[in-house]
Amino acid sequence: MSRAAPARWKIVLAGVGVAALGSLAFAAYGGIGNGTPTQRVKAWVSGSGLGQSIGTVVGDAARVRLAMDEHKSVGVLHTDCGVLLTDAQSANGELPTPDTQLTDLLSSGYALAYDSGTDCYNSGGTNTKLLEKATKERIEAEAKLQQATNLVGQLTGQTLSTTTTTQPDDGALG
């Protein structure tokens, strides 16, 4: 088991705990349990800030890609990769959603983004095997998050804006 694995389990367990508390609080305010499936998803998307969460993680991934492509210093890479894994962990704390398929896509996308950030950070900018793994995970994370964005559109009949005020245009989906 790698050194990152015990830390990941702690994060997963913390995320499950936060998600359980969040869903209890959300249900208490009538978000998950009331209304049609479309109304429940719309309420959750609005209350969770999903569009901004996805936009932030995708923007972070774009910065990591750019740092790697431009062969930035280890310090820049550590910072960008660390931000990616932290933001992915934070976004995962908003789960579950009222829709199982949406929860699964988001959970998978955020976990892949977290793994990508961890592997990128641990590469020190020189371990090509970890950098390749991080790149693959980052691409898969972006694909899962795009699928989740598309699913939100299907479930709600509305386009999910994933732009943020602090992210570059190339980091936004939607």
Residue 17 clears pLDDT 80, i.e. is over it: no
Burial of 82 (0-12, 13-18, 19+ CB in 10 A): middle
36 part of a folded domain: no
23 part of a folded domain: no
Q: What is the per-residue pLDDT for 30?
A: 39
Can you tell me the distance from the alpha carbon of 97 to that of 122, in angstroms, rounded to the nearest whole number?
31
Residue 20 clears pLDDT 50, i.e. is over it: no
Q: What is the per-residue pLDDT for 3?
A: 52
Q: What is the per-residue pLDDT for 34?
A: 80
pLDDT digits (tens, 9 = 90+) for 125-162: 899 999 999 999 999 999 999 999 999 999 999 999 98
Give the percent of the chain with pLDDT over 70: 75
Can you tell me the distance from the alpha carbon of 67 to that of 71, in angstroms, rounded to the nearest whole number?
6
Q: What is the per-residue pLDDT for 54?
A: 97
Q: Is 124 left (phi over 0), alpha (psi -120 to 50) or beta?
A: left
Q: How many domains does the chain have?
A: 1
68 part of a folded domain: yes
Domain boundaries, position 106: 49-155
Can you tell me the distance from the alpha carbon of 72 to that of 47, in angstroms, rounded to the nearest whole number?
37
37 part of a folded domain: no
Can you tell me the distance from the alpha carbon of 6 to that of 96, in angstroms, rounded to the nearest whole number?
23
Q: Where is mean pLDDT largest: 9-18, 29-38, 153-162?
A: 153-162
pLDDT digits (tens, 9 = 90+) for 89-115: 999 999 999 999 999 999 999 999 999
Banded pLDDT at 11 (limits 50, 70, 90): low
Q: What is the per-residue pLDDT for 4?
A: 53
71 part of a folded domain: yes
Q: What is the CATH number of the domain that holds 64?
A: 1.20.120
